[in-house]
A and B are shown apart, each in its own frame.
Chain A
């Protein structure tokens, strides 16, 4: 039930008259929260009605977002540019850059020598998609993939860019993608959170991640992302402490619930209800989480498919396997973050290490979802917060170079429900620098994913601080040609 409705119910006219002695504070609170509701009768709709179900029948029921934090280089992985080889070492033509903003890390460089990918490309699948030799497993599943080569973003640094992708705004404080989906679509499994977060990193010392990325922002706190870990204790503080058994936990929760109810009657803070819901969810999760994440019955060859890392808790591979287990149980939004892509220098070496930890599990996840019939209504998204530039950051040699941040064009792939398979959408210029065909802005991308989930991105709103907010702010257009 919507929080505004809850308060409204609490403070219906009759209750209000009954509680008239409760003091002016209560009246002030009620009228603050629902200025028209207090005297307007019970039919006034809440300001932020919980949607709880799609606006129209969805193609996608669940999303697994394999977020590649740090920004993988599209030029080494997906966007094949032979021109860079031909012009290796020459300066990036000014006609391409057109004075566009660079980060402080390369803005001072006297030259911008073009760097070609050290790694080779070949074409795969019916869509003849160019894929790098760094991704031998991903290239196997090319027929199931959809490439968007023309994504572009507004931010140029990691934190604002990730925040932009995840919340629709570069400034922190808005609800995360998964929170919007939890708020808009509710849960298909009352025993697990609708929005689960899994974290891993390819190497130490890369760009950090912050819990704000899976925050509920101004949405009710039941919609925040819950971090799961692989291993014996997947959710922090979920298990009973030593000496507390299930029965006493239950009794404790029952009494705590009563206390919370008393408190709610007095102060009418909707977050009290959210907290009670979260306690109950945690209680159910004490049973459901171990069941859901139990990998002891997975056959050896499934581990082999995800690669040797999949037996090591906390790796990207182990998280991919967990992601499958979670969507098998109808968790709506599984958000993985994999750190380690921020390769300003020593790129050829570092990207090889990084792709090794990512390529096989990503492809295995798609194959595994497919054979279980889950890819039919699950969407998998793979991509970072921006791309990397065509010129070398620092010294360029045949074997070593670096690439700076590049927000103007990068590649993201999707696989699964509702999108056309084996195709490439969008095109960049000969340097992979500017989008020349079918640009897709981050807000367009968000609108499209919401559309696939059966949500009209313009209608999924929440009123906070006097204005209605959306994931796509006031922008975003569904990329219709991508829809299958």
Chain B
């Protein structure tokens, strides 16, 4: 019936209709209050006799009926906006109309004038009030379900009460092994099932199997829905499971239904790839064919390592994980300390809009000195990038820098720091970038860096470091990239690169 009414309203409702419709949630609480208070007063009257006048209760009932009728009207207007689950909406509507009808009857049999002409009015009164109240509670509950979702009341219900209420136990939390190496990940258990679990299983499980489909176990996935299988092994895009996800969201058959959390592009491509590969339930990624399209998606799942050793190196690796000091939450810097730091001529910049981490730079503070460096530890939680290159600092500043425990990048190039100062940097466990070019650092200082395990790149052009010192450091930190620079000799050789080609050409000619 309701669907019939809704079908008639094919044109989108006017703004006026929806404007008033949106008053439904407001108006609807009036009959709830009025009817309940009428019921409670009647209860009171039954037990204590004559606490309030009959006239008062009649008046309350009259307004219950009026407000319930209004609520029905507005509710219908609201429903025209669409987006509600049809069955629940229909029950809610008829129960709401029931409340209005019974409120009017209750008022009629109670009222002094009408009550007289209705036969058996006094006998009818209490039962009609009771029916109105029951309908009220039921319609109210359904209304709540429509607005907040049918599991709103029960979603946090503790276990014992759930079983008392006859509800099934909560769906167990999915326990998938986190992916450490994507090559070794189980395709169904670690990739496919987690996607189904977050996007599909809510409606396709043991308790609620919409369309007769369950997606919670391999066997039932293979079995499909009441209309037949949802997978065509080897043909992802021909499988109903994928097709319904690719339909436009407005389409009635689109899954997950409009308004529910949707699958994103990479999730759909992972599911498609899995079905293309025959939808196996016990294979690892490395046992399936990984094509160029899916490789970056797989790589983004984590683990980092190349997905296909023989493949294209570009797509094989996802972006390297970010340093924890860039992703962790740090408290906002004290504005007073920031001001102090700025007064020394340093530039203080947040690394991004949403982070409290700071970049501090002496780009315009060439006179920045050891004495001023004492302000830095005030921002020890926040400074991740520090650029003190080409300033007057010496080893004394390194003692202050040693307190900046979240430092990830440190520029000390072209300063007077020495080997002795580098000792101070030992405790900077998050340091990844260290620029020492144009300093008097030598092998002895370099040896101090061996304990900074996270160090990724060190710049040593125009320092006193020798091959020997480099070899020692390389041994301690095999993954460290050591960047030197050109020498006059190297430049001469580099400049010749063109001429070689030229002479070769001349010879040819």
Residues of chain A touching chain B, judged by Cβ–Cβ distance below 8 Å, are 51, 53-58, 127, 133, 136-137, 140, 188-191, 288, 301-302, 304-305, 307, 329-330, 356, 359-360, 363-364, 367-368, 370-373, 376-377, 420, 422-425, 437-438, 454, 480-484
Chain B interface: which size bin? 35 or more
Q: How far is the CB of B302 from chain A (nearest CB, A)?
A: 14
Find chain B residues with CB under 8 A from A301 CB: 486-488, 491-492
Q: Is the CB–CB distance between B500 and A304 below 8 Å?
A: no
Residues of chain B touching chain A, judged by Cβ–Cβ distance below 8 Å, are 292, 295-296, 300, 312-315, 317-320, 322, 326, 347, 349-355, 357, 361, 363-364, 409, 411, 413, 433, 435, 437, 457, 459, 461, 483-488, 491-492, 494-495, 497-498, 500-501
Q: Is the CB–CB distance between A370 and B483 below 8 Å?
A: yes
Q: How far is the CB of A250 from chain B (nearest CB, A)?
A: 19
Q: Is the CB–CB distance between A371 and B483 below 8 Å?
A: yes
Q: How far is the CB of B320 from chain A (nearest CB, A)?
A: 6
Find chain B residues with CB under 8 A from A438 CB: 292
Q: Is the CB–CB distance between A373 and B413 below 8 Å?
A: yes
Name the contact of B320 in the complex, choosing from A55, A370, A482, A484 (C-beta under 8 A): A484
Rounded to whole angstroms, the CA-CA distance of A301 and B318 in the bound complex is 39
Q: Is the CB–CB distance between B459 and A51 below 8 Å?
A: no
Rounded to whole angstroms, the CA-CA distance of A484 and B486 in the bound complex is 26
Q: Is the CB–CB distance between A481 and B347 below 8 Å?
A: no
Q: A136-B501, A425-B314 are in contact. Are A57 and B326 (CB under 8 A)?
A: yes
Q: How far is the CB of B360 from chain A (nearest CB, A)?
A: 11
User: Which of B350, B361, B413, B494 is most buried by chain A, counting CB atoms within 10 A of its CB?
Assistant: B494
Rounded to whole angstroms, the CA-CA distance of A101 and B292 in the bound complex is 30
Q: Is the CB–CB distance between B495 and A373 below 8 Å?
A: no
Q: A305-B494, A454-B352 are in contact. Are A481 and B437 (CB under 8 A)?
A: no
Name the contact of A305 in the complex, choosing from B322, B457, B486 (C-beta under 8 A): B486
Q: Is the CB–CB distance between B351 and A54 below 8 Å?
A: yes
Q: Is the CB–CB distance between B488 and A376 below 8 Å?
A: no
Find chain B residues with CB under 8 A from A373 CB: 411, 413, 433, 435, 437, 457, 459, 483
Q: How far is the CB of A332 from chain B (nearest CB, A)?
A: 12
Q: Is the CB–CB distance between B317 and A420 below 8 Å?
A: yes
Q: How far is the CB of A239 from chain B (nearest CB, A)?
A: 21
Find chain B residues with CB under 8 A from A304 CB: 491-492, 495
Q: How far is the CB of B352 from chain A (nearest CB, A)?
A: 4
Q: A137-B497, A420-B317, A483-B319 are in contact. Are A372 and B364 (CB under 8 A)?
A: no
Which residue from chain B places its CB closest to the CB of A133 in the assembled complex? B501
Q: Is the CB–CB distance between A189 and B363 below 8 Å?
A: yes
Rounded to whole angstroms, the CA-CA distance of A57 and B324 in the bound complex is 12
Which residue from chain B places its CB closest to the CB of A128 in the assembled complex? B313
Find chain A residues with CB under 8 A from B411 CB: 373
Q: How far is the CB of B447 from chain A (nearest CB, A)?
A: 21
Q: Is the CB–CB distance between A484 and B352 below 8 Å?
A: no
Find chain B residues with CB under 8 A from A140 CB: 494, 497
Q: A305-B495, A372-B437 are in contact. Are A53 and B292 (CB under 8 A)?
A: no
Q: How far is the CB of A312 from chain B (nearest CB, A)?
A: 16
Jot down 26 A-B pairs with beta carbons below 8 A, ordered by A. Answer: A51-B353, A53-B353, A54-B351, A54-B352, A55-B354, A56-B355, A57-B326, A133-B501, A188-B347, A188-B349, A188-B363, A301-B492, A305-B495, A330-B361, A360-B495, A360-B497, A367-B485, A367-B494, A370-B483, A371-B461, A372-B437, A372-B459, A377-B409, A481-B315, A484-B317, A484-B319
Rounded to whole angstroms, the CA-CA distance of A480 and B125 in the bound complex is 72
Q: Is the CB–CB distance between A329 and B363 below 8 Å?
A: yes
Q: How far is the CB of A440 from chain B (nearest CB, A)?
A: 12
Find chain A residues with CB under 8 A from B457 CB: 373, 376
Which residue from chain B places its CB closest to the CB of A186 in the assembled complex? B349
Rounded to whole angstroms, the CA-CA distance of A330 and B497 in the bound complex is 31
Which residue from chain A places its CB closest to the CB of B434 in the assembled complex? A373
Q: Is the CB–CB distance between A480 and B296 below 8 Å?
A: yes
Q: Is the CB–CB distance between B353 and A55 below 8 Å?
A: yes
Find chain B residues with CB under 8 A from A360 CB: 495, 497-498
Rounded to whole angstroms, the CA-CA distance of A118 and B349 in the bound complex is 51
Find chain A residues with CB under 8 A from B494 CB: 137, 140, 305, 363-364, 367
Find chain A residues with CB under 8 A from B461 CB: 371-372
Rounded to whole angstroms, the CA-CA distance of A371 and B491 in the bound complex is 13
Which residue from chain B places its CB closest to the CB of A359 in the assembled complex? B498
- Known contacts A57-B326, A305-B486, A367-B485; 13 additional CB pairs below 8 A are A53-B349, A53-B353, A188-B349, A189-B347, A304-B495, A360-B495, A373-B433, A377-B409, A425-B314, A438-B292, A454-B351, A482-B314, A484-B319
Q: Is the CB–CB distance between A57 and B352 below 8 Å?
A: yes
Which residue from chain A places its CB closest to the CB of B297 in the assembled complex? A480
Find chain A residues with CB under 8 A from B361 CB: 188, 330
Rounded to whole angstroms, the CA-CA distance of A476 and B488 in the bound complex is 45
In the A-B complex, the 6 residue pairs with the smallest Cβ-Cβ separation, listed nearest first, are: A371-B485, A373-B435, A373-B459, A136-B497, A371-B461, A301-B488
Find chain A residues with CB under 8 A from B318 CB: 480
Q: How far is the CB of B157 from chain A (nearest CB, A)?
A: 39
Rounded to whole angstroms, the CA-CA distance of A364 and B490 in the bound complex is 12
Rounded to whole angstroms, the CA-CA distance of A127 and B484 in the bound complex is 22
Q: Is the CB–CB distance between B364 and A189 below 8 Å?
A: yes
Rounded to whole angstroms, the CA-CA distance of A480 and B318 in the bound complex is 8
Q: Is the CB–CB distance between A330 and B319 below 8 Å?
A: no
Q: How far is the CB of B282 from chain A (nearest CB, A)?
A: 29
Which residue from chain A places its CB closest to the CB of B436 in the assembled complex? A373
Q: How far is the CB of B25 from chain A (nearest CB, A)?
A: 27
Q: How far is the CB of A59 from chain B (nearest CB, A)?
A: 9
Find chain A residues with CB under 8 A from B314 CB: 420, 423-425, 481-482
Q: Is the CB–CB distance between A55 and B319 below 8 Å?
A: no
Q: Is the CB–CB distance between A437 and B352 below 8 Å?
A: no
Q: How far is the CB of B213 from chain A (nearest CB, A)?
A: 33
Find chain A residues with CB under 8 A from B315 CB: 481
Rounded to whole angstroms, the CA-CA distance of A127 and B361 in the bound complex is 36
Name the contact of B363 in the complex, choosing from A330, A420, A480, A484 (C-beta under 8 A): A330
Name the contact of A190 in the complex, choosing from B313, B364, B413, B459 (C-beta under 8 A): B364
Find chain B residues with CB under 8 A from A58 CB: 351-352
Find chain B residues with CB under 8 A from A302 CB: 491
Q: Is the CB–CB distance between B351 and A57 below 8 Å?
A: yes
Q: How far is the CB of B380 from chain A (nearest CB, A)?
A: 19
Which residue from chain A places its CB closest to the CB of B458 in the assembled complex? A373
Rounded to whole angstroms, the CA-CA distance of A454 and B322 in the bound complex is 13
Q: How far is the CB of B506 from chain A (nearest CB, A)?
A: 13
Q: How far is the CB of B175 from chain A (nearest CB, A)?
A: 29
Rounded to whole angstroms, the CA-CA distance of A350 and B354 in the bound complex is 50
Rounded to whole angstroms, the CA-CA distance of A189 and B318 in the bound complex is 33
Rounded to whole angstroms, the CA-CA distance of A330 and B346 in the bound complex is 13
Q: A356-B498, A367-B486, A425-B314 are in contact. Are A376 and B296 (CB under 8 A)?
A: no
Q: How far is the CB of B496 from chain A (nearest CB, A)?
A: 9
Find chain B residues with CB under 8 A from A137 CB: 494, 497-498
Q: A189-B364, A367-B486, A420-B313 are in contact. Are A57 and B433 (CB under 8 A)?
A: no
Find chain B residues with CB under 8 A from A424 CB: 314
Q: Is the CB–CB distance between B413 and A372 below 8 Å?
A: yes
Q: Is the CB–CB distance between A136 and B437 below 8 Å?
A: no
Rounded to whole angstroms, the CA-CA distance of A372 and B495 in the bound complex is 19
Find chain A residues with CB under 8 A from B317 CB: 420, 484
Find chain A residues with CB under 8 A from B459 CB: 371-373
Find chain A residues with CB under 8 A from B352 CB: 53-58, 454
Which residue from chain B places its CB closest to the CB of A372 in the assembled complex? B437
Name the contact of B296 in the complex, choosing from A370, A454, A481 (C-beta under 8 A): A481
Q: How far is the CB of B187 from chain A (nearest CB, A)?
A: 21
Which residue from chain B places its CB closest to the CB of A137 in the assembled complex? B497
Q: How far is the CB of B178 from chain A (nearest CB, A)?
A: 21
Find chain A residues with CB under 8 A from B295 CB: 481
Rounded to whole angstroms, the CA-CA distance of A288 and B364 in the bound complex is 9
Rounded to whole angstroms, the CA-CA distance of A371 and B487 in the bound complex is 11
Rounded to whole angstroms, the CA-CA distance of A127 and B347 in the bound complex is 39
Rounded to whole angstroms, the CA-CA distance of A330 and B300 in the bound complex is 32
Rounded to whole angstroms, the CA-CA distance of A394 and B499 in the bound complex is 32
Q: Is the CB–CB distance between A57 and B497 below 8 Å?
A: no
Rounded to whole angstroms, the CA-CA distance of A165 and B145 in the bound complex is 53
